[in-house]
Amino acid sequence: MSLSIVIMAAGKGTRMKSSRPKVLHRLAGRPMLSHVIHTTAQLQAARLIVITGHGAEQVESSMRAEFAQAPLSFARQEPQLGTGHAVQQAIPLLPDEGTTLILNGDVPLIQADTARKLVEACAGERLALLTIHLDDPTGYGRIVRDGWGEQVHAIVEHKDANPAQREIKEVYTGMMAAPTAWLKQALQGLTNHNAQGEYYLTDVVARAVADGLSVVAAQPQDEVEVLGVNSPAQLADLERRHQRAQADRLMEAGVRLADPARFDLRGELRCGQDVDIDVNCIFEGQVRLGDEVRIGAHCVIRNAVIESGAVIHPFTHIDGDKDGVSVGPGSLIGPFARLRPGAQLGAEVHIGNFVEVKNSTLAAGAKANHLAYLGDATVGERVNYGAGSITANYDGANKHRTVIGNDVHVGSNCVLIAPITLGDGATVGGGSTLSKDAPAGQLTVARTKAVSIPGWKRPAKQPK
């Protein structure tokens, strides 16, 4: 049986007080709508339809770029006349058979197992609603059941509910699954005879009851799956709930977090045994930490592989972007170091405070311990790269490479103007600016002779 998925993402999100469409506000580093679409990929739907409205072009271009391979199509809701009106826009894109699952783009943490449970409850022949019991159901549509509490008779929107109905704790989450052929007919029969003058999707429940279609309910595993976002405060609350859940999963797997309340994961983090992570660390993209890796406080790590036994000292920024960063086993990085895309470090490499490495490989045992820059460089084993030294890799138009052989010693405050090669065992005297290769095993010095001028005086300020 084919499955169609409709995601409602047309709302403006007035309470967000932002020019950005609500569904593009980020949770855990990615747009809320992206979370929902990513989850639906596990359901292997035949078609995926996103209903857009406010900021439609921005939403559509963002999702097309991120999910280029998905069976994704869009329908516009202009103007926005309610949830029922939103799903009506998908009618021309829906088949006449199978099941349609309706989700919300501003409810980002719905899980695939819960969505699958809803589709199974529908089974292509029932109207299945995702409901939950809330201590404070304010703002949600109430589930009205028969006298035995079994059959669902209706959903009453909060603004239309009478005092007795507002006491009901079971609420509709905005998500449902229905036989597609029946749903298309039910949507075409919606009216806007209500307090808001809108076409409510929830009115299809009354239509199902009238048609003798069984109305059933399914529940999520956790409340966080059905929490929607309508304000910055709600987004921040959901972010913290989500981050705590991710922290708990890591700790259950053996990762030691100094404070799970001060931890942020905005991607995927895989950890070996005995990994320690201090406070206020942020992990983005794809990050893998080997056994016994230690991450100091206030680090930001994105798209990187850090091998076993490496120590990342506090305030280090590792950004692999598309090219990635790799840190070899036993390496020591930071504090206050920066590893940029293409940094590939071998075993027991030392990168110290205020050292930046970009698009460079450092072989085993190489060290750059202070205030240095290595860009577009190939660095051999056991190199000692002095404080204040830089590779001048850019000539204003093109990048050039610096090659440093094994056992090279580069003194402090040196400038290596690429393209240039330092042979194995070469020594570069401190303060040198080199534009020619340095021979292997020799001392190369390039600096002017010191001159002292007797009787010279500093300029003095003239009295006013």
Give residues with Cβ within 8 angstroms of 37, minimum separation 6.
7, 48, 50, 63, 66, 67, 70, 72
Q: What angle do CA 394, 399, 405 make, to 5 degrees?
A: 95
Q: Can you count the helices (H) and strands (E) in the chain?
A: 8, 38
* Contact of 430 with 455, CB cutoff 8 Å: no
The question of whether 400 is a catalytic residue gets the answer no
389, two tokens: 């030294």
Taking the C-alpha atoms of residue 40 and residue 144, their distance in angstroms, rounded to an integer, is: 29
Closest CA to 33 of 21, 15, 47: 21
The alpha carbon of residue 32 and the mean position of all alpha carbons in its chain are separated, in whole angstroms, by: 10
197, two tokens: 């003058």
Residue with tokens 């406010």: 54
> Of the listed 38, 298, 317, 370, which one is catalytic?
370
Alpha helix segments (H runs only) across 16-94: 32-40, 56-66, 83-88
Q: Which secondary-structure segment (H or E) carries 246? A: helix 232-252
Taking the C-alpha atoms of residue 368 and residue 354, their distance in angstroms, rounded to an integer, is: 10
Phi, psi of 389 (to 5 degrees): -90, 150
Query: What pairs with residue 378 in β-bridges?
Result: 361, 403
203, two tokens: 């009115």
Query: Which residues are known to be catalytic?
Result: 370
